[in-house]
Amino acid sequence: MDSILSDRDRRILEFERVWWQHSGAKEQAVRDEFGLSPTRYYQIVAALTDSSAALTFDPMLIKRLQRVRDTRMAARSARLLSPGE
């Protein structure tokens, strides 16, 4: 996945860039657009977030996805480390 993006990977990245413009829930739009379960879709997005080919294809989107992931991981770690809860 690192050297060349498939057509599906490019479509997923393009969808991820503009998904909020779709009416309805994102999970339903994922099913309608790609025929994927939300779990599988997010697994693919996670892999693309670490892909050099995806970074080349859309650096702003990938950097945003990395920031979101890193923020969520930091918040999760902070919750796990907070005493007395």
| pLDDT tops 60 at residue 73 | yes
Asked whether residue 39 is assigned to any structural domain, the reply reads yes
The number of folded domains in the chain is 1
Asked whether residue 84 is assigned to any structural domain, the reply reads no
E strands present in the chain: none
Cα distances (Å, whole numbers) of residue 31 to 19, 36, 40, 83: 12, 5, 10, 40
Q: What is the span of the domain harbouring residue 43?
A: 7-79
Selected residue with higher pLDDT from 82 and 61: 61
Q: Using pLDDT thresholds of 50, 70 and 90, give the confidence band for residue 84.
A: low
Asked whether residue 85 is assigned to any structural domain, the reply reads no
